[in-house]
């Protein structure tokens, strides 16, 4: 799937939504220090130990030897462990950039002296921690077929499984039932919902909760707002252009195929 990366003293440097590479690999902290860094920090107790994160402005000019790599492409290029480490770095960078000022009184926030992953207001004491937004993602099955849909935001027309954020007060099961109903107009059997797997997803700060469920009633009727089209696909009918191997969506689809005797790279 990808080339192994050395995480020892590695720095994950971000420019806009991309990861910066030096000579085709992750830079060391010393190499990253030569860039016009806007902000930086360490992983602290998070793994991989010894890593750091940093960011440069969108219009910063990169010296020779540096290149930008899309975050999704980074995972496919270097593999799951590298993608997980990059996701942690992005989460830390994103949290710091979103926590500069107190939401209560507007005072500039400071690093908490007692918690490495908390920002504290020196005036009113308000604390801000990294924000993680839970979202369900579900493989709905009906008579040996898998529900796949095309999101209107996807410019490639790629089919995938359904996903959506949990609302306040909802359980995972509540969100699965509601999202499937809202997006494609069918009901799932609530008692069939099975939690399978989770993945931190840095687009921008989600925790994807992967589930499997069975169709209960209704016929597909895409909402036209989020979902452009949807269909039931037998294993041999699943389109070739499915989500990548580092995505939980890709994992769910490949799991369905594997259970039906089909291996998909």
pLDDT, one tens digit per residue, over 27-84 is 999 999 999 999 999 999 999 999 999 999 999 999 999 999 999 999 999 999 999 9
Task: Output the CA angle 209-53-137, nearest 5 degrees.
Answer: 10
Give me the mean pLDDT over the 258-262 stretch. 97
Task: Verify that 239 and 175 share a domain, yes or no.
Answer: yes
Examine residue 6 and state whether it is found in any structural domain, yes or no: no
Task: Verify that 122 and 151 share a domain, yes or no.
Answer: no
**Structural Rg of the chain based on CA atoms:** 21
Task: Verify that 63 and 74 share a domain, yes or no.
Answer: yes
Distance CA 136, CA 210 (A): 6
- Tell me the two tokens of residue 166: 């949990």
Examine residue 150 and state whether it is found in any structural domain, yes or no: yes
* DSSP structural state of residue 108: B
Binned at pLDDT 50, 70 and 90, residue 2 comes out as: low
Task: Verify that 61 and 115 share a domain, yes or no.
Answer: no
Domain that holds residue 119: 100-131
Examine residue 175 and state whether it is found in any structural domain, yes or no: yes
Among 60, 49, 54, which Cα is nearest to 93's?
A: 54
Task: Verify that 108 and 186 share a domain, yes or no.
Answer: no
Is the pLDDT reported for residue 1 higher than 60?
no
End-to-end Cα spacing for the chain = 9
pLDDT of amino acid 57 = 97
| pLDDT tens string 97-145 | 999 999 999 999 999 998 889 999 999 999 999 999 999 999 999 999 9
Task: Verify that 37 and 58 share a domain, yes or no.
Answer: yes
Which residues 6+ apart lie within 8 Å of 33 measured at CB? none
182 Ramachandran zone, left/alpha/beta (phi>0; psi -120 to 50): alpha
Among 211, 250, 199, which Cα is nearest to 87's?
A: 199
Is the pLDDT reported for residue 226 higher than 60?
yes
Give the number of domains in the chain. 3
Examine residue 264 and state whether it is found in any structural domain, yes or no: no
Q: For position 203, which CATH number holds?
A: 3.90.79.10
Give me the mean pLDDT over the 139-163 stretch. 96
Task: Verify that 141 and 197 share a domain, yes or no.
Answer: yes
What is the number of alpha carbons within 13 Å of residue 235 lying toward its C-beta?
13
Task: Verify that 246 and 194 share a domain, yes or no.
Answer: yes
Among 122, 150, 114, which Cα is nearest to 243's?
A: 150
Examine residue 4 and state whether it is found in any structural domain, yes or no: no
Among 87, 185, 192, which Cα is nearest to 138's?
A: 192
Examine residue 16 and state whether it is found in any structural domain, yes or no: yes
For 235-238, the CB contacts below 8 A with 24+ separation are 235/144, 235/146, 235/260, 235/261, 235/262, 236/262, 237/145, 238/146, 238/148, 238/159, 238/262, 238/264
pLDDT of amino acid 3 = 63
Task: Verify that 146 and 126 share a domain, yes or no.
Answer: no
Examine residue 3 and state whether it is found in any structural domain, yes or no: no
Distance CA 256, CA 185 (A): 22
Task: Verify that 159 and 212 share a domain, yes or no.
Answer: yes
Among 163, 185, 186, which Cα is nearest to 175's?
A: 163
Task: Verify that 141 and 249 share a domain, yes or no.
Answer: yes
- Tell me the two tokens of residue 165: 């954020």
Binned at pLDDT 50, 70 and 90, residue 4 comes out as: low
Task: Verify that 116 and 93 share a domain, yes or no.
Answer: no
Distance CA 132, CA 224 (A): 28
Distance CA 265, CA 242 (A): 10
């Amino acid at each position: 799937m990808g080339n192994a990366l050395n995480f020892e003293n590695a720095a994950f440097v971000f420019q806009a939504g991309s990861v910066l590479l030096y000579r085709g690999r992750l830079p060391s902290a010393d190499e990253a220090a030569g860039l016009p860094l806007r902000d930086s920090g360490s992983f602290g107790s998070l793994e991989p130990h010894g890593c750091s994160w940093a960011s440069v402005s969108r219009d910063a000019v990169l010296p020779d030897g540096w290149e930008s790599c899309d975050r999704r492409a980074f995972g496919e290029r270097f593999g799951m462990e590298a993608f997980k480490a990059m996701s942690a770095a992005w989460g830390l960078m994103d949290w710091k950039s979103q926590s500069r000022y107190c939401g209560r009184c507007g005072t500039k926030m400071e690093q908490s002296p007692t918690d490495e992953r908390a920002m504290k207001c020196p005036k009113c004491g308000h604390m801000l921690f990294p924000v993680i937004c839970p979202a369900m993602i579900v493989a709905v099955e009906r008579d040996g077929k898998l529900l796949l849909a095309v999101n209107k935001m996807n410019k490639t027309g790629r089919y995938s499984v359904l996903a959506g954020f949990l609302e306040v007060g909802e359980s995972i099961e509540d969100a699965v039932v509601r999202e499937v109903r809202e997006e494609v107009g069918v009901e799932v059997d609530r008692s069939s919902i099975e939690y399978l797997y989770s993945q931190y997803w840095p687009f921008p700060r989600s925790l994807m909760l992967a589930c499997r469920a069975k169709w209960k009633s209704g016929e597909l009727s895409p909402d036209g707002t989020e979902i452009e089209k949807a269909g039931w696909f037998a294993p041999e009918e699943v389109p070739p252009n499915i989500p990548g191997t580092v995505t939980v969506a890709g994992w769910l689809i490949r799991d369905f195929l594997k259970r039906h005797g089909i291996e998909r790279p």
